[in-house]
Amino acid sequence: MVARYMGHKDTQRIIDTYGHVLKELEEREKEKIRKVLDEFK
């Protein structure tokens, strides 16, 4: 449904196109978690 709405044939096309953005967001969130956990050391 989302893939069609965005004009893509399937979800794999979305992943191929925007996957790098998801990885960047994931890394930012991991870094935030690391900073919080470092405060407990």
Structural domains counted in the chain: 1
pTM (two decimals) = 0.56
Single-letter amino acid, residue 12? Q
CB 11 within 8 A of CB 2: yes
d(CA 22, CA 37): 23
With tokens 């979305």, the residue in question is: 14
Q: pLDDT tens digit string along 9-21? A: 777 877 888 888 8
Q: In which domain, by residue range, is 26 found?
A: 2-38
Helix, strand, coil content of the chain in percent (nearest 5):
80, 0, 20
Q: Is the pLDDT of residue 5 over 70?
A: no
Q: Quick one: tokens of 27?
A: 């890394």
What is the reported pLDDT for 34?
A: 96
